[in-house]
Amino acid sequence: MRLQRLLRRAGLAALAGALVILAIPIAGCAKLPLIGGKPTVKLKIAGTADLNNCGKSSASLSFRVVQATDASPLTGATLLQFWDREKDLLAGSFVDVSETKFVDPGKSVEFVVPLKPDTRAVVVVGNFCKTLGSCWYVVAPRKGGGGVKLDLTADASCLSARRK
């Protein structure tokens, strides 16, 4: 009786050890993280009451998420130079651009964009009718292979990180 229990335990221990040994090379070759899935940009934008109104009684803001290996080519660029020309302005740094999304005054939107492996900078761009300096976009660096989480406010002419 004791011998049978010992053999059963030894067999289970050997089976568990074999599974661990097999799992290590499989996990090392996996393209996806084993826990948590693919990295994403989790974006929330809250529009203020005067969002992108330019003197009109009603307005909304269109925006996009641009992925790049380097966002420095944006320095000194204007919204008109960048919107619909992301690939040209970023040149070799361009990775991807999301579809255009919208936020209305006094409302919030949330959405998730899958990150491409080469992405090192995430740029959220608002298509404002009037801009002040370079606050028409926000850049968030991507650290390592993880995701990026952004909580932004969009007002009459700027995007900014929301204070918690």
pLDDT score, position 4: 61
- With beta carbons less than 8 A apart as the criterion, state whether 148 and 122 touch: yes
One-letter identity of residue 33 = P
| Cβ pair 25, 18 in contact under 8 A | no
For residue 77, give both structure tokens. 């660029």
**Whether 113 contacts 40, CB under 8 Å:** yes
pLDDT of 54 reads 85
This prediction has a pTM of 0.76
Q: What is the pLDDT along the chain (164 residues), one digit of tens a residue?
A: 665 665 466 555 554 454 445 444 444 443 344 456 899 999 999 999 999 988 777 789 999 999 999 999 999 999 999 999 999 999 999 999 999 999 999 999 999 999 999 999 999 999 999 998 999 999 999 988 899 999 999 999 999 998 76
**CATH top-level class of 40-161:** mainly beta
The predicted pLDDT at position 7 comes to 47
In the chain, domain spans: 1-30, 40-161
Q: Cα-atom radius of gyration of the chain, to the nearest Å?
A: 24
